[in-house]
Structure 1
Amino acid sequence: MDVEMTKDAASLRSGQIRIGDLAPDFQARSTQGPFQLSALRGQWVLFFSHPADFTPVCSTEFAELARRQADFDALGCRLVGLSVDSLYAHFAWVRALRDLFGVEITFPIIEDPSMAVGRAYGMIDDTSADSMAMRSTFFIDPRGVVRATTSYPHNVGRSVEEMLRLLRALQQVDDADVLTPEGWAAGGRLLLPATTTPEGAADWFCRFEDSPGDRP
């Protein structure tokens, strides 16, 4: 079975996905069996792409993601990888990563030989002949909404620690009237929205919350 996009997702043009959009749904084969993105509703999803299997930068990324799997699980977040390579190549790569790094890749890796998913998500331009632009990450909330995205060049590795930090920050501000300051880490001070009535307060536009309370 090749990738199957939903009707709405198939109608999207490349590069149209923005923060606040509903993540395009699709069905495809994966290393963990048949996969459908919408089946993960109710959970956070970290959906990330890579240009090809057996590439050096992505091999280090996948190895670290496997090592930090428990941290993502604790945050209620599912990891989902994607590349244009075949399912058989994915299985061979997973075995090679186990032998080289001593890690088990237990999250699904999607095959996308037609580049349908990559194009629907704007990872690959319609005119692209290969997948070299596919190093994007989408942070998808439990409602299926894209809350943040990142894109990296093929020769610079992503930081798994930063992925976790951004995920924690998104969860911290979710449905809460607070903001996270530069470099925020879990347990750090939060920001309050700027007040519309300064009334002479010097910090009216940048007010820290003294105690984050019991927020997760």
Structure 2
Amino acid sequence: MAVYLGQKAPGFLVNTTKGPLSLEDYKGNWVILFSHPADFTPVCTTEFMAFARRYDEFKKINTELIGLSVDSIYSHIEWMKNIKEKFGIEIPFPVIADINKDVAREYNMMDEKTGSTVRGVFIIDPNMIVRLMIYYPAETGRNIDEIMRTLKALQMNWDRKLAAPVNWQPGNDGIVSAPGTLDEAINREKNGSKTWYLTYEAVR
């Protein structure tokens, strides 16, 4: 089964480093579900530390982080311990032990040739709708700033119904939806828009 943008996120009940977890537990929150190829790998370790450093920032904007790979719960626990001991960083979010690969396959996160999970990112909105899907190659770490930027753009759309223009940054103006009638189009230009189909609105 394929996952598509705009569809309801497939539910799951799983075992994690924080105990049993159901996706439905997070309804009403934004969720970033991300998969990594394997525990104790260098690129994944840098990503987990980066997500942990930004954890409070994500929490402040009503967003929960959930990691996932097909490694066992014992592997996850030992890796989390190692990161704390060697780098002084505690991983505060749950990491799914998807040993049966059910969630990974449901979300198209599996590399069936290697038997490991890919480097995927899914943003799920408070209504449990998939709003973003990104896949990175195994040798390239994620850009947490870009994930945060895209999340805030989606939240702007959720709150204000505004779209984000190219290279949008939080605090920049958003784009108003295109007009649906000729009169609306004419009025937009009368009210100062350079063109009827592209109108900006301040976000403060």
The answer to whether TM tops 0.5 is: yes
| Correspondences of 1:54-203 after superposition (within 5 Å) | 54-124=40-110, 128=113, 130-132=115-117, 134-174=118-158, 176-196=160-180, 197=182, 198-199=185-186, 201=189, 202-203=194-195
Give SS of 2:160's match: coil
Residue 37 (str. 1) matches residue 23 (str. 2): yes
Larger deviation, residues 96-105 vs 163-172? 96-105
**Cα shift at 1:129:** 5.0
CA–CA distance in 2 between the matches of 1:167 and 1:146?
12
Tell me what 1:9 maps to.
none
2:199 to 183, 187, 207: 207
Residue 28 (str. 1) matches residue 14 (str. 2): yes
In structure 1, list runs of 5 or more residues that go unmatched.
1-12
**Cα shift at 1:34:** 0.9
CA–CA distance in 1 between the matches of 2:66 and 2:108?
17
**Cα shift at 1:181:** 0.9
CA–CA distance in 2 between the matches of 1:208 and 1:43?
28
Tell me what 1:10 maps to.
none
**Cα shift at 1:50:** 0.5
Runs of 4+ that moved beyond 4 A: none
**Cα shift at 1:193:** 2.1
**Cα shift at 1:151:** 0.5
What CA RMSD, in Å, does the superposition of the two structures yield over aligned residues?
Answer: 1.7
Give SS of 2:43's match: helix
How many correspondences in the alignment?
A: 196
Larger deviation, residues 151-160 vs 198-207? 198-207
Give SS of 2:126's match: coil
Q: How many percent identity over aligned positions?
A: 39
Larger deviation, residues 185-194 vs 150-159? 185-194
Tell me what 1:51 maps to.
37
* TM-score normalised by structure 2 residue count: 0.90
* TM-score normalised by structure 1 residue count: 0.85
CA–CA distance in 2 between the matches of 1:123 and 1:203?
42
**Cα shift at 1:124:** 1.8
Query: Residue deviations 1:83-124, cap 9 Å, x none?
Result: 000000001100111123211101000001121111111112
CA–CA distance in 2 between the matches of 1:53 and 1:90?
7
Residue 188 of structure 1 aligns with an amino acid whose one-letter code is: N
**Cα shift at 1:177:** 3.1
Give SS of 1:65's match: helix
* Higher helix fraction (1 or 2): 2
Residue 204 of structure 1 aligns with an amino acid whose one-letter code is: W
